[in-house]
Structure 1
Amino acid sequence: MLRVTDIDLRLLRIFKSVTDCGGFSAAETTLDMNLSTISTHMSELESRLGVRLCERGRQGFRLTDEGRATYLLVEQLLNSVEDFRAGVGAIHQQIGGELGIGVVDNTLTDPQARISAAILALKQRGGDLHVRLEIKSPSEIEQAVQERRLHVGIVPSYNELPGLRYEPLYTETLTLYCGSGHPLFDAAPDGVELTQLDGLDFVSRGYMRENRELSSTARLNASATVHHMEAVATLILSGAFVGYLPQHYAAQWVASQRMRPVRPDLLSQQAAFSIVTRRDRGQTIAVQAFVDALRGNTANARPAGA
């Protein structure tokens, strides 16, 4: 029978990361290892377990049946290890274990988000806490929370998924923008007639509802679809597209006269952000302290010894 050592746990974590990333090459950045080192570790794990975990070659990466079964066991084992670390911390009223956080891109400029301040509050409390912060799309964050790969997410909530808990956090204002050189730029923000929007090229974020809502106001040509805010800004700045951006994010280009809002009095929209956790997963001290800090509850997120 296999006796699980610290070395085995490290190999199992490497196997999980490779599987989550979809292959050896894709996992190089995540693991901070080169391809040959990853391959050596995977071969060592297969030797330890006595099974072939995956096929790798010209046809790509694929788990074997034994690999899929092992992956499920690895998830259970690593979750138990993290729960144990968090539980030991709870006994001593210390923050411990790992805290996996998922956020959407470019929230840093939003003072309402408080993510940096919340992380600082946790670190000031001390303890053996490992923070893992991932930037993903809302659907990726929700899926990761569902699959216990993340403990908590901060997402714009539109269609709440079963099994997840959504707690309202703050509301973000999005406005339609055009870039310098665009036909609407000189008349923006208030001198644009809604009929002038008809047929203009519009860039939408794949996970946002803005293009559906806007279609009832103007007949824009949704000629580009992206999934990251920076991509929206890039296309707007080209002068060829209009698109929605959060006001806090667009402010830097508005100040330099490279962007202007388009009829913010009529076309601005609200996006409600929520804290997302699993309903069936008890909140660790780290998760609860992080959520308290996000809400500005400094009493529960105070530094150790305060």
Structure 2
Amino acid sequence: MIQVTDFDLRLLRIFKTVTDCGGFSAAESALNMNLSTISTHMADLEGRIAIRLCERGRRGFQLTDGGRSLYQLAEKLLDSVEDFRAGIGALQQRISGELSIGVVDNTTSDSHSRVAAAILAVKQRGADLHIKLRIMSPREIEDAVQERKLHVGIGPFRNRLPGLDYERLYTEELCLYCGQGHPLFESAPLQVQLDDLRGLDYVSRGYMRESRELGVATDFRIAATVYHMEAVVILVLSGKFLGYLPQHYAAQWVDQGRIRPLRPDLLNHRAEFSFVTRKDRELTIATQVLIDALRVGRSASTAGA
């Protein structure tokens, strides 16, 4: 029977990260290790348990049947270790261990976003707490919370998944924009007819369906699909595409005269931001402190509205 040591736990964490990243090379930055070191550690783990875990070849990185089974066992074990550390911290009335947070991209310019302040509140309570902050799409966040890879996620979630708890935080305002050089740029923002928008190239976010929700100007030609806000603004800045952007994020390029909103009186909508947690996962002290700080920010923004 194998005795699980700290070294074994380290090897299992490396194995899990490699698997989550989809391969050795992809895991280099996540692990802050070079390829040869990762390969050595994976070989050490295979030697410890006498099981071939993965194949690397023309078809890319693939787990063996034994590798898939070990991944499931490792996930349960590492979750248990983390829960144990958090439980010890609770007994000692201190915050320790790890806090994993998922957030959608480009929210820092929104005055309603309190993520940085909430992280400060947690770190002031637990200086030894290790923070993992990942930038992900809304669906990726939900999946990661469901799979216990994140303690909490923050974003605009359209379809609420069973097994997850959602709590509203704030509202983000979005407008439709075009870039300098676009045929409608000189007429923007208000001297544009809705008929002028029909058939124009439009950037769709893979996790949103803005044009279906607005009820007007639905005849865009979807000419690009992206999953991050920065990709939207790059395409809009090209002068060839229309795309929805949060007003707080677009402001810097509007001020530079590089993009303009199109009919903000009609073509605008709101994204409701929430935080999401897993229903059957007990909140750690760190998670609870973070959530409490986010709620304080929500109350402040409501009072100021």
Q: Same fold (TM over 0.5)?
A: yes
Larger displacement relative to structure 2 (245-254 or 55-64): 55-64
Kept in 2, the 8 Å contact 1:89–1:127? The answer is no
Kept in 2, the 8 Å contact 1:102–1:134? The answer is yes
* 1:267 paired residue number: 267
* 2:139 paired residue number: 139
Structure 1: give runs of 5+ residues left out of the alignment: 299-306
Is 1:62–2:24 an aligned residue pair?
A: no
* 1:92 paired residue number: 92
- TM-score (normalizing by structure 2): 0.95
* 2:153 paired residue number: 153
Larger displacement relative to structure 2 (109-118 or 241-250): 109-118
Which amino acid in structure 2 is aligned with residue 24 of structure 1?
F
Which amino acid in structure 1 is aligned with residue 66 of structure 2?
E
* 1:35 paired residue number: 35
Kept in 1, the 8 Å contact 2:211–2:217? The answer is no
Q: Distance in 2 between matches of 1:73 and 1:28?
A: 23
Shift of 1:127: 4.5
* 2:182 paired residue number: 182
Shift of 1:222: 1.1
Which amino acid in structure 2 is aligned with residue 204 of structure 1?
S
Larger displacement relative to structure 2 (213-222 or 223-232): 213-222
Within 5 Å, give how 1:1-306 maps onto structure 2: 1-214=1-214, 216-296=216-296
Equivalenced residue count is 298
Q: Distance in 2 between matches of 1:27 and 1:292?
A: 33
Kept in 2, the 8 Å contact 1:195–1:218? The answer is no
Which amino acid in structure 2 is aligned with residue 261 of structure 1?
P
Shift of 1:149: 0.5
SS at match of 1:93: coil
Structure 1 residues 143 and 218: alpha-carbon distance in aligned structure 2, compared to 1, 3 A threshold: closer
Kept in 2, the 8 Å contact 1:194–1:218? The answer is no
Larger displacement relative to structure 2 (51-60 or 254-263): 51-60
Shift of 1:213: 2.4
Root-mean-square deviation (CA), in Å?
1.3
Which amino acid in structure 1 is aligned with residue 211 of structure 2?
N
Which amino acid in structure 2 is aligned with residue 162 of structure 1?
P
- TM-score (normalizing by structure 1): 0.95
Shift of 1:196: 0.8
SS at match of 1:134: strand
Which amino acid in structure 1 is aligned with residue 207 of structure 2?
Y
Kept in 2, the 8 Å contact 1:175–1:268? The answer is yes
Kept in 1, the 8 Å contact 2:178–2:262? The answer is yes
Shift of 1:47: 0.5
Kept in 1, the 8 Å contact 2:201–2:223? The answer is yes
Q: Distance in 2 between matches of 1:160 and 1:111?
A: 25
Shift of 1:204: 1.1
Structure 2: give runs of 5+ residues left out of the alignment: 299-305
Structure 1 residues 188 and 105: alpha-carbon distance in aligned structure 2, compared to 1, 3 A threshold: same
Question: For each residue in 1:259-299, what CA deviation from the matched residue of structure 2 results, as whole angstroms up to 9, or x when unmatched?
Answer: 1111111010010011000011111111110011112279x
Which amino acid in structure 2 is aligned with residue 34 of structure 1?
N
Question: For each residue in 1:71-114, what CA deviation from the matched residue of structure 2 results, as whole angstroms up to 9, or x when unmatched?
Answer: 11100110011101110111122111111000011111111111
Moved over 4 A (4+): none
Q: Distance in 2 between matches of 1:288 and 1:63?
A: 36
